[in-house]
Amino acid sequence: MSRSAPGAPVEARNVLAITPFRRLWISLSLSSLGDWLSLLALMSLAAIFTAGGPPLVQYLALSGVVVIKLAPPILLSPLAGAVADRLDRKWTMVVTDVLRGVLYVSIPLVGLFSPGFALGWLLIATLLAELVALFWTPAKDSTVPTLVPRKLVAQADRLNLLTTYGTAPVAALLFAALASIGNVLGALLPSMASPEADIALYLNGLTFFVAAIVVGVLPIPKHKTSRDSESDTRDSGILRVVATGRRPGGEPLPRGLVAGLLGSIAGGAAVIGVARVHLEALGAGNGGFGVVFASAFAGMALGAISGPRILKQFSRRRLFGLSIALSGLALLFAGAVADTVLVALLTGLLGVGAGIAWATGLTMIDDEVEDDNRAAAVAFVHGTARVALLVAMALAPLAAGLIGDYEIPVGPLTYDLRGGGVVLMASGLLVVVVALVCYRLMNKDHPDAGPGLLPELLAALRGVAVSDGEEEPSAHSGAFIVVEGGEGAGKSTQVRELTVWLREQGFEVIGTRQPGATKLGMRLRGLLLDRENSHITPRAEVLLYTADKADHVEQEILPALRRGAVVISDRYVDSLLAYQGAGRDLSVDDIREISSWATQGLVPDLTVLLDVRPEEGLSRLGGPADRIEAESVEFHSRVRKGFLDLAKADADRYLVLDAREPQDKVTREIQRRVRSLLPDPVPSSAEAVTGMIPVIRND
Ligand SMILES: Nc1ncnc2c1ncn2[C@@H]1O[C@H](COP(=O)(O)OP(=O)(O)O)[C@@H](O)[C@H]1O
Ligand SMILES: Cc1cn([C@H]2C[C@H](O)[C@@H](COP(=O)(O)OP(=O)(O)O)O2)c(=O)[nH]c1=O
């Protein structure tokens, strides 16, 4: 039921609804796909052309491909950018696309007709294609703002970034699939060095030809408009950014943050650099390589998207270092094991850690750097990251080649220690060290300030915020029970029963309800339920209910819990998520965030959900319907589903009961569950009373 950030898909649809942009975007996605496919193919061809030679030569060929692919944009982009600015954008893109297509297609063709020159041409053609791309990038960057309205430019950029990296795992899987039919292809086309690599390169060529046609028919204005100029600086001059951006806007970025980001990317780059040859040594060919590559990127996407969400309440400073350490450990083990499946799983884990680290790191930059300096800071990080990527990707294979392969006798067995494996383990170790350093750097200003690491992690997994000091909601010794459900489900009845039952056992019990338990709450309740107030807008409604909750938690619930009392509330945050989120169709995630702040992160120990069809519940109510009760049955059905979804998402913390059951049966079910929740020994002061209550001895 939870929805994504407000408007994200809607906005994406908006910008893709602009036909020229959509066409450009499709062609960009195709080119990105082809580009990744060709990187894999080139690395694989470099390995194949040098197979049989000494490992150092194999690794050198790989380093060569990587350096050739990544260095030109870093070294030469300002120059090419300046030239490209003077050219017609549309035709620059068309011509460069065609040229790149021809170059990529020529690589397997030269391999076919002149095998002796194959490796040389592979390197030369790759370099030429990258040089050509230098002119294409600024032309593309300055085209986007001419196709979409200004307010959607950022959105379009994000979408482009998504496809630039999002196509990597797709390409890897495609490559793996091609490899898996490689044997058949090899038999059919014996002249090819590596059929999957050749086909990948032909496909890449094709994507560029298609891109050229798509761009060729786009209506792109010839001359620059003034508002394009800002976009031109985005991608050009990385070295300049790196050189001058050390102190973006004078305010240095936290050292731990920069160290962590660069360390994690260097670790990832080392994997890409040696994976191909290392996997070959493990007996896995292109298929295994493709799967490992896809696994790393899929892990990264998973980590970046879901990590920060699941661990929303966890301190980012800690999460950042820990996720990098996770990557490092995964890398360390990936280098040590000799099983391809395990390597693929471990690289997936590495990706998850790296994804969380990047998402957290960029969010920290957003939070910690002032608006004016943010673009420079992000450009600085991206710039240095590319340099780190290049250096690590080029050095890792070289180091692996220099180290060489050894056989170490272990009793009757031998352990094959390979250069690639050593490099992976060493990079893993390095990443772990970087993670520890950055964890210390980022948390040294807060020594022991917060709760212990483990309690915080566990609390974050449950979705509770743990803050330090007195305000810590989970530091109370009481119990917090909430009864939720639709109209007429029997909530008030059950709260009353449970309150009496627990009081009779000697517990201090506060039976309460939302909205309307405090002075302010009563007035808010009046406002909210008065049918005259039909003009209340959904967002205002959220805030009014939330104000009631903030007051209620601070003034009544928390003091009681800290005294050790049992608090039973008729409705709490789930009502807000179900009525205003599911019912009013607002973002549940947004509401959760607002209410979590308002309630100081207080989450019930148990939520009893009394589930009933709205028609049935509403029919139980007497008297005139209030503003909410008067809503349509469809509204109440959405609310019911909202409640059920919440319970499903966190089943351990819920007791869902069928509210059509007789009232006393429902009561007994609740008692059974509550008994397991509360401390067994009844307070001694209540012993006399307890002894008289037959219900306790019932079961
Ligand atoms: N399990 C049940 N089966 C049938 N009627 C019930 C049950 N529980 C409560 N009722 C009746 O339904 C009506 C609404 O109950 P109430 O506790 O006020 O619901 P809520 O607080 O959810 O609006 C009351 O008249 C109550 O006696
Ligand atoms: C607590 C809460 C209640 N409500 C609605 C549900 C109820 O229709 C109304 C008042 O709650 P309540 O007094 O529990 O009504 P009833 O006893 O009739 O069930 O407020 C929300 O929409 N959001 C909230 O966060």
Two tokens, residue 406: 């050894």
Cα of 82 vs its chain's centroid, Å: 36
pLDDT band at 615 (very low <50, low <70, confident <90, very high): very high
Q: How many angstroms separate the alpha carbon of residue 634 from the centre of ligand 2? A: 17
| Cβ atoms 160, 25 nearer than 8 A | yes
Q: How many angstroms separate the alpha carbon of residue 663 from the centre of ligand 1? A: 8
Nearest CA to ligand 2 atom 15: 487
Nearest CA to ligand 1 atom 11: 490
Mutate to test the pocket of ligand 2, among 483, 533, 571 (most ligand atoms within 8 A of CB): 571
CA–CA separation, 586 and 432 (whole Å): 42
Signed CA dihedral, 418, 420, 423, 429: sign only: negative
pLDDT band at 148 (very low <50, low <70, confident <90, very high): confident
Res 253: pLDDT = 65
CA–CA separation, 140 and 151 (whole Å): 18
What residues contact 619, with CB distance under 8 A and at least 6 apart?
Answer: 488
Across the range 162-172, mean pLDDT stands at 78
Say if residue 72's pLDDT is above 90.
no
ipTM, interface predicted TM-score of the complex: 0.97
The more confident residue out of 13 and 637 is 637
Across the range 281-302, mean pLDDT stands at 82
Amino acid identity, position 565: A
CA–CA separation, 520 and 557 (whole Å): 15
Is the beta carbon of 195 within 6 A of some atom in ligand 1? no
CA–CA separation, 499 and 508 (whole Å): 9
Lowest mean pLDDT among 16-20, 60-64, 242-246, 507-511: 242-246
List pLDDT tens digits, range 6-16: 333 344 457 78
| Cβ atoms 438, 260 nearer than 8 A | yes
**In 530-599, which residue ranges form alpha helices assigned H by DSSP?**
538-552, 558-563, 573-575, 588-598
Most trustworthy range by pLDDT among 188-197, 403-412, 497-506, 509-518: 509-518
Q: How many angstroms separate the alpha carbon of residue 514 from the centre of ligand 2? A: 7
Across the range 497-503, mean pLDDT stands at 93
Please report the atom of ligand 1 found closest to the CA of residue 496. Answer: 17
Nearest CA to ligand 2 atom 7: 628
CA–CA separation, 270 and 537 (whole Å): 54
Q: What are phi and psi of 423, to 5 degrees?
A: -60, -40
From the CA of 524, which ligand is nearest?
2
Please report the atom of ligand 2 found closest to the CA of residue 621. Answer: 18
Q: How many angstroms separate the alpha carbon of residue 606 from the centre of ligand 1? A: 20
Across the range 498-518, mean pLDDT stands at 91
Say if residue 242's pLDDT is above 70.
no
Across the range 345-358, mean pLDDT stands at 89
Lowest mean pLDDT among 176-190, 381-395, 657-671, 684-698: 684-698
Res 185: pLDDT = 67
H helices then E strands: how many in the chain?
28, 7
19 by Cβ neighbours in 10 Å (0-12 / 13-18 / 19+) ranks as exposed
Across the range 292-304, mean pLDDT stands at 85
Nearest CA to ligand 1 atom 9: 490
Please report the atom of ligand 2 found closest to the CA of residue 546. Answer: 25
What is residue 106's DSSP assignment?
H
Buried b (16+ CB within 10 A) or exposed e, 388-416: bbbebbbbbbbbbbebeeeeeeeeeeeee
- Residue 535, SS3 per DSSP: coil
Please report the atom of ligand 2 found closest to the CA of residue 583. Answer: 22
The more confident residue out of 11 and 175 is 175
Q: On the CB side of 391, how many CA atoms lie within 13 Å of its CA? A: 10
Across the range 623-651, mean pLDDT stands at 94
- Residue 159 CA: distances (Å) to CA of 8, 26, 164, 302: 11, 11, 9, 17
- Residue 485, SS3 per DSSP: strand
Res 669: pLDDT = 95
Nearest CA to ligand 2 atom 16: 487
Question: Residue 482 pairs with which residues in a beta bridge?
Answer: 569, 607
Chain-wide mean pLDDT for the chain?
80
Res 228: pLDDT = 43
The more confident residue out of 311 and 613 is 613
**In 148-254, which residue ranges form alpha helices assigned H by DSSP?**
153-180, 182-188, 195-216, 229-235, 238-244
CA–CA separation, 430 and 264 (whole Å): 10
From the CA of 570, which ligand is nearest?
2
Q: What are phi and psi of 517, to 5 degrees?
A: -90, -20
Res 469: pLDDT = 40
Residues belonging to the binding site for ATP are 485-492
Say if residue 243's pLDDT is above 50.
no
Angle at 181 between CA 179 and CA 187, to 5 degrees: 110
Lowest mean pLDDT among 41-45, 319-323, 335-339: 41-45
Res 87: pLDDT = 79
- Residue 83 CA: distances (Å) to CA of 139, 342, 593: 10, 48, 48
Say if residue 244's pLDDT is above 50.
no
Q: Which domains does the chain have, with CATH numbers?
A: 1-223+230-236 (1.20.1250.20), 469-697 (3.40.50.300)
Two tokens, residue 580: 């205003």
Across the range 379-401, mean pLDDT stands at 78
Lowest mean pLDDT among 50-59, 166-175, 242-251, 423-432: 242-251
Q: How many angstroms separate the alpha carbon of residue 622 from the centre of ligand 1? A: 10
pLDDT band at 172 (very low <50, low <70, confident <90, very high): confident
pLDDT band at 41 (very low <50, low <70, confident <90, very high): confident
Please report the atom of ligand 1 found closest to the CA of residue 570. Answer: 21
Q: How many angstroms separate the alpha carbon of residue 591 from the centre of ligand 1? A: 28
Mutate to test the pocket of ligand 1, among 493, 495, 499, 643 (most ligand atoms within 8 A of CB): 493
Q: How many angstroms separate the alpha carbon of residue 640 from the centre of ligand 1? A: 16
From the CA of 492, which ligand is nearest?
1
Q: How many angstroms separate the alpha carbon of residue 257 from the centre of ligand 2? A: 45
